[in-house]
Amino acid sequence: MSLREVLTPFSVWKRVLDAPVSIADPFSREASEHYRGFHKNDMETCIGCGTCEAICQNGAIDMVPVEGQNTEKGDSGLRPMIDYGRCCWCALCVDICMTGSLTMSNEYTWVDSDPDAFRFIPGLNEPWKDKQAGYKRENGRVLSGTTRSPMGELHANERIDNFNEICVGYTREEAILEADRCVECGLCVATCPAHMSIPDYIAAVRDQDYDRGLQLLYETNPFSEVCGRICTHKCETSCAAVHEGDAIAIRWLKRHIVDNVPLERRVELIGAPKPATGKSVAIIGAGPGGLTAAYDLAREGVKVTVYEALPKPGGMMRYGIPEYRLPYDALDRDIAVIEAMGVTIKCATVVGVDVQMEDLRQSHDAVILAIGLQMGRGTRIPGSEGAGVERAVDLLRRITAGDPTVPVPETAVVIGGGNVAFDIARSMARLQKIKYGRVGLTLTALEDRAHFLADKEELVEGDEEGVLILDSRGPQEVMRDPSGQVTGLRTWAVTSIFDAEGRFAPAYDESDEQIHQGALVIEAIGQMADTSLLGDALTEKLEWNRGRIKIDSEMRTSEPWLFAAGDAVKGPDVINAVADGHRAARTVMEAIAQGEVVQ
């Protein structure tokens, strides 16, 4: 090597103080139409799922908050920021984008003296914003599956004459295929009332690590086997995958985990509770809210006694949900785990009769009221009083308890369009099929089919089972013959349900009248709690909010020793009751620790 060759590299130091110069393209050459240039993002379409950040192998993308983008259901409020010091323009972020909001322009020149300018948020002040050319996902290509693994279920002909569970659960192969579709964006976690670790337990399914999956489930939901079957799965509505195809089957994957871990192993994985604290809490009601609070408190070393008026624990999960949706042995396994934590459940014990509220107050450090909505509401239309008209929750309680005196006429009419209405309609349809060999059940609802309050699968399965579903029909009168026997229901067509101010005020077309034949009319238009157990004195002392006990955000009532959770204060929904139970237990523990509970 010559001396010149050795010294030449050092000659560049003569330029060290010179200002850098970027020379713009003198010919203004346009890049090819599909060139991978600078990024663009449609801020309104983007949901901030973060899949672009997760897939970037160079760490060139960070999800950051952006002014004007609010966190809401299905949108994290975050938007991707690109670091062009790291980006290699591979376009994987564009290929994985769940909404198609992220694209690339074909612009390839960008001159700026500020190096921080090259860490920018696409969608904000893009000089190339209006450029139409550039790289987009080609031919609808996707990097993950768009169709969920179908859930195996009994055919209508196999299920209509029995109460056997309809859904059979995923096989391991089906579960892995479904878990593989999840991009672990986490939007579902924010939507879930209990904030379950959904992406993590789905990853456990993908890894076939059921022990880890079970532990993750029980961190936030002691009713995972129940919720794996009958959860309203609102989390799936915010799933990023819904923008390309089917939402991830979050509920079914939860069920798949617990189906693969036997009861004894669950207790072993959860572990023993903390040492006893010497504190005790009474809980009234063995539904999901009360038992979740009991589980949490027992895990913290608190002695918990649950008082339940009905013969078995479970509340409306046992006495309101038909066994074809929720087999009671599945419910029993969830309750067995809770009892294994040291919780005592006293069934067939009516507070206000067998034990008094004042006694519970005096003998415990705190009391949690977690009663459900055990009483049905009536329509109060002409003819609705008297024999031949039943409330859905009362009838469901008798059916689920195996009462042989449940009335089963050849024809019946249900009023309502929610899940409870379909539960009783489909239960009665089964009893009719068993007794008469055919279904004679009509369901009428105020809402049109697109706005039924029931889950969509209820409509599909109800149709399959022979239930005649009539939408936009308003009940006007229960028809009776001269002897007083119910003969049917008279309805008018619904023209609107709410008035201009959004208040419930149904309007009808009286000229469109129908008579629906039925020897039994069942009202399923809502439920309410029986708060008579409180007694007159306590009822007077408590603060109320439109017929419900008033609580603060941490489940405290106006009485410092009494807390409330579940359906009676928030409305019917298992996963919301579970979330309330967690919150109530946490608040009680804090109150006890700080000496705030006053006897």
Burial 423-440 (b: 16+ CB within 10 A, else e): bbbbbbbbbbbeeeeebb
Three-state secondary structure call for residue 563: strand
- The yes-or-no verdict on residue 63 having pLDDT over 90 is yes
Confidence tier at 597 by pLDDT (50, 70, 90): low
- The single-letter code of the amino acid at 376 is G
Two tokens at 347? 């069934």
Place of tokens 């966190």: 71
Q: Same topology for domains 276-374+529-594 and 386-527, yes or no?
A: yes
Q: How far apart are CA 366 and CA 370, in angstroms?
A: 13
Q: Helix 263-270 and helix 328-340: axis angle, to 10°? A: 30
Query: pLDDT at position 81, please?
Result: 96
Query: pLDDT at position 593, please?
Result: 85
- The yes-or-no verdict on residue 326 having pLDDT over 70 is yes
- The yes-or-no verdict on residue 7 having pLDDT over 80 is no
| Residue spans of beta strands (DSSP E) within 95-163 | 102-104, 119-120
**Protein fold of 30-143:** Alpha-Beta Plaits (3.30.70)
Q: Which helix (H) or strand (E) holds 163?
A: none
CA–CA distance from 85 to each of 106, 113, 257 (Å)? 18, 14, 43
Percent of the chain with pLDDT over 90: 76
Query: pLDDT at position 599, please?
Result: 52
Q: How far apart are CA 87 and CA 39, in angstroms?
A: 10
* Cβ count within 10 A of residue 89: 17
Residue pair 85/112 in contact (Cβ under 8 Å)? The answer is no
Q: What is the pLDDT of residues 167-217, one digit of tens each?
A: 999 999 999 999 999 989 999 999 999 999 999 999 999 999 999 999 999
Angle subtended at Cα 279 by Cα 275 and Cα 284, rounded to the nearest 5 degrees: 115
**CATH number 3.50.50.60 given to 386-527:** yes
Burial 230-240 (b: 16+ CB within 10 A, else e): bbbbbbbebbb
Percent of the chain with pLDDT over 70: 97
- The yes-or-no verdict on residue 158 having pLDDT over 80 is yes
Q: What would the mean pLDDT of 55-69 be, rounded to a whole number?
A: 93
Terminal CA-to-CA distance of the chain, rounded, Å? 94
Confidence tier at 293 by pLDDT (50, 70, 90): very high
What is the distance of C-alpha 20 from the center of its chain?
57
Q: How far apart are CA 543 and CA 566, in angstroms?
A: 17
Q: Where are the domains of the chain?
A: 30-143, 156-269, 276-374+529-594, 386-527
Share the mean pLDDT of the chain. 92
Q: What would the mean pLDDT of 414-440 be, rounded to a whole number?
A: 97
| Residue spans of beta strands (DSSP E) within 445-530 | 468-470, 473-480, 486-498, 504-517, 521-523, 527-528
Q: What is the DSSP letter of 267?
A: H
Query: pLDDT at position 309, please?
Result: 94
The residue with greater pLDDT, 142 or 217, is: 217
Query: pLDDT at position 27, please?
Result: 64
Residue pair 528/547 in contact (Cβ under 8 Å)? The answer is yes
Residue pair 228/572 in contact (Cβ under 8 Å)? The answer is no
**Protein fold of 156-269:** Fumarate Reductase Iron-sulfur Protein; Chain B, domain 2 (1.10.1060)
CA–CA distance from 343 to each of 56, 271, 303, 305, 405 (Å)? 48, 15, 7, 6, 34
Confidence tier at 579 by pLDDT (50, 70, 90): very high
* Full 3-state SS string of 300-367: CCCEEEEECCCCCCCCHHHHCCCCCCCCHHHHHHHHHHHHHCCCEEECCCCECCCECHHHHHHHCCEE
Three-state secondary structure call for residue 187: helix
191 - beta bridge partners? Answer: none
Residue pair 226/288 in contact (Cβ under 8 Å)? The answer is yes
Domain 276-374+529-594, CATH among 3.30.300.10, 1.10.1670.40, 3.40.50.300, 3.50.50.60: 3.50.50.60
Q: What is the pLDDT of residues 23-43, one digit of tens each?
A: 666 667 788 888 999 999 999
Q: What is the DSSP letter of 120?
A: E
- The string of DSSP codes covering 373-421 is --EE-----TT-SSTTEEEHHHHHHHHHTT-TT----S-EEEE--SHHH
- The yes-or-no verdict on residue 157 having pLDDT over 90 is yes
Give me the phi and psi of 213, to 5 degrees please: -60, -45
Two tokens at 253? 């994957």
Angle subtended at Cα 79 by Cα 110 and Cα 181, rounded to the nearest 5 degrees: 115
Query: pLDDT at position 530, please?
Result: 86
Q: What is the pTM of this model?
A: 0.88
Task: Name the range with the highest mean pLDDT among 307-316, 535-544, 570-579.
Answer: 307-316
Q: Kindly report which listed range (66-70, 223-227, 389-393, 481-485) carries the lowest average pLDDT score.
A: 66-70
517 - beta bridge partners? Answer: 488
Q: How far apart are CA 136 and CA 105, in angstroms?
A: 9
